[in-house]
Amino acid sequence: MDSQLSLIEQSFNNRYSSWVRDALDDLPDNFTITDPSISGHPIVFASRGFLKMSGYSREEVIGRNGRFFQGPRTNRRSVMEIREAIRQERAIEVNLLNYRKDGAPFWLLFRMSPVFGKEDGRVTNFVAVQVPIVSKKHRRNNGVSFSEDSEPSGLREIVFGSCRREVCSDSLLDLDRVLALDSDSRGLEIQDSCEASDLEKQRAATAINNVLSVLVNYSESTGRSVCGKRCNLPGMINISSSLHISLGRIKQSFVLTDPHLPDMPIVYASDAFLKMTGYDRHEVLGLNCSFLNGVDTDTATLNQIEESIRTERACTVRILNYRKDNSSFWNFLHISPVRNASGKIAYFVSVQIDEGSKNQDRHGLSPEMRQRSAVGAIKVAVRSLSMSAGASKS
C-alpha cells in the first residue's frame, strides 16, 4: 500500500505544481480525482466537501477505487454505465446511490469527466463530482416550500435524511436478496427513482468546470499541461483507460512499444519497470527502449533484437542495461509481437527480469514462465479491447 501511495504522490506531483492541492481544497464542491494509469484506477485527490459528505478521512480514501462507496442497493446498471464511460474515455452523468462511512445510503448526482494531457492526448485523470440530491417531497416539506437557489441551515440534514428514506430498488437484485437486507435498511422506504433537479445538474456542471480550471492552471508551470478536451496529435495513437486498467493488473516489469510510430516509442510502462529502472513514467513514455543501453551493451545482442522486430518474431536475450542512476544490471529480456483481434501487430511487448533477482518468485515460477505468463496476459488484454471496440462499431 505504501508503494501505491508513493505512485499516487508521484503521479500528482509530476503533472501539477505543488500548490494544486491547496487550490483544489479551496473549492466548495464535493469531488474526487482518479488516475487510470495507476493499477486499480485509484482516487488521488478528495475534496474537503466530499470527505465531509462521506464521513471518511483523506487517508481512508486516497488509493481506493470509487466502488469503495457503493453498497448492496447501488444500482449495478448505473455502475456498468460508469465503467463503460471510463472505457470509452467520455463524460457521464447518472443518479447514484452511495454509502457514507456510517453505513447510511444517500442519493447523489454523479458527474464524471476525463482530463487529457495536451502533449499526447491521453487521459491523465478523471474528475468525479458528487451533488447530493434533495427529493421533491422534502422540497415541498408538507406545503412549506423553499427556493432551490437558497440553502437553509437544515439543508444538509434534509439531503441525507430524505435520501436515506428514499432508496430506489435495484432492478438487478432479486426479491429475496432485497428482503434479506431489510434488517440493516435503517427504516428505508423503497421508491422507483430519485431524480436530480435542473439546479443540481447545473451545480454539477459548474463544479466540473471549476475543478478543470484549477487543473489546467496548475499544470502549465510543470510543462505537462492538461485540458478538458482531447488534443489529438498527428500520428499519435492513444492507450485507452480500459487498456491501462487491464495492463495495470499485471505485476511483471514490461513496456509496450508502438511499431507504427516513428522510432517505435514506449506507449505504456508498468509500475514494476519504473521501480526496476528508477525512472518516472513521464521520463520514459515516448522514448525508444534504447535509452536503457550504455557503453558496455553488446552490439551483437542489439542486432539480434532489431532482427526479431524486423521479422516480427519473438526473441529472448541477456543484455546489459543501465538504470537512471547509471548502475548496470543484466536484463533477462523477452520481446514478442502483440496482435489485435484481426491478427495485425498492434504493439511489441518487452518483459524484463533483473538477473540479480530473477529467482526470487514467491510462486516458484521460472523466469521463462513468468515472462510467458505476462506476455499471455498482455495479449489477452489487447485482443479483448480490440474485439469490444469492433463490436461497438458494428
Q: Is 215 helix (H, G, I), strand (E, B) or coil?
A: helix
> What residue type is assigned to position 187 of the chain?
G
* 168 Cβ contact partners less than 8 Å away, ≥ 6 residues apart: 73, 75, 97, 107, 190, 191, 192, 193, 194
For residue 313, CA distances in Å to 36, 105, 147, 336, 338 come to 31, 54, 69, 6, 10
DSSP per residue over 18-30, as a string? TTHHHHHHT--S-
> What residue type is assigned to position 180 of the chain?
A
Q: Convert the pLDDT of each residue in 59-87 to its tens digit.
A: 999 999 999 999 999 999 999 999 888 88
> What residue type is assigned to position 71 of the chain?
G
Q: Convert the pLDDT of each residue in 295-304 to its tens digit.
A: 999 999 999 9
Residue 321, pLDDT above cutoff 80: yes
Q: In the chain, which residues fall in CATH 3.30.450.20?
A: 2-227, 250-393
Q: Cell digits for 236?
A: 499519435
Strand-pair category, 123-132 with 105-117: antiparallel
Given the candidates 3.30.450.20, 3.20.20.20, 3.30.230.10, 3.90.25.10, the CATH classification of the domain at 250-393 is: 3.30.450.20
Residue 327, pLDDT above cutoff 80: yes
Of the ranges 81-90, 241-250, 333-342, which one carries the lowest mean pLDDT score?
241-250
Mean pLDDT, all residues of the chain: 81
DSSP 259: T
Q: Cell digits for 248?
A: 495495470
Q: Is 191 helix (H, G, I), strand (E, B) or coil?
A: strand
Total number of residues shown for the chain: 394
Model confidence band, residue 8 (pLDDT cutoffs 50, 70, 90):
confident
DSSP 52: H
DSSP per residue over 115-134, as a string? EEETTT--EEEEEEEEEEPP
Q: Is 96 helix (H, G, I), strand (E, B) or coil?
A: strand
Q: Cell digits for 95?
A: 443518479
pLDDT value of position 191: 45
Q: Which of 112, 2, 101, 123 lies closest to 54 in space, CA to CA? A: 101
Residue 305, pLDDT above cutoff 80: yes
Bridge partners for 208 per DSSP: none
Q: Which of the two residues, 166 and 111, has the higher pLDDT score? A: 111
- Residue 283's φ and ψ, nearest 5 degrees, are -85, -15
Q: Convert the pLDDT of each residue in 206-232 to its tens digit.
A: 999 999 999 999 998 888 889 888 765
Residue 355, pLDDT above cutoff 80: yes
Q: What's the CA gap between 130 and 105, in Å, rounded?
A: 14
pLDDT value of position 137: 57
Of the ranges 136-140, 160-164, 243-247, 385-389, which one carries the lowest mean pLDDT score?
160-164
What b/e sequence results for 9-39 when a residue is b if at least 16 CB atoms lie within 10 Å of its CB, and e otherwise?
eebbeebbeeebeebbeebebbbbbbbbbbb
Residue 390, pLDDT above cutoff 70: no
pLDDT value of position 361: 57
Q: Under CATH, which architecture does the 2-227 domain have?
A: 2-Layer Sandwich (3.30)
Q: What's the CA gap between 95 and 204, in Å, rounded?
A: 12
Q: What's the CA gap between 267 and 298, in Å, rounded?
A: 25
Tell the burial category of 81 from Cβ atoms under 10 Å away from its Cβ (0-12, 13-18, 19+).
middle
| Residue 1 contacts residue 63 (beta carbons within 8 Å) | yes
pLDDT value of position 174: 36
Q: Convert the pLDDT of each residue in 121-175 to its tens digit.
A: 778 899 999 999 986 655 555 444 444 444 444 444 444 444 434 444 333 333 3
pLDDT value of position 156: 44
Mean pLDDT, to the nearest integer, of 248-256? 91
Chain-centroid distance, C-alpha 235: 24
Q: What's the CA gap between 178 and 345, in Å, rounded?
A: 48
Mean pLDDT, to the nearest integer, of 34-44? 89
Please give the model's pTM, rounded to 2 decimal places.
Answer: 0.56
pLDDT value of position 88: 79
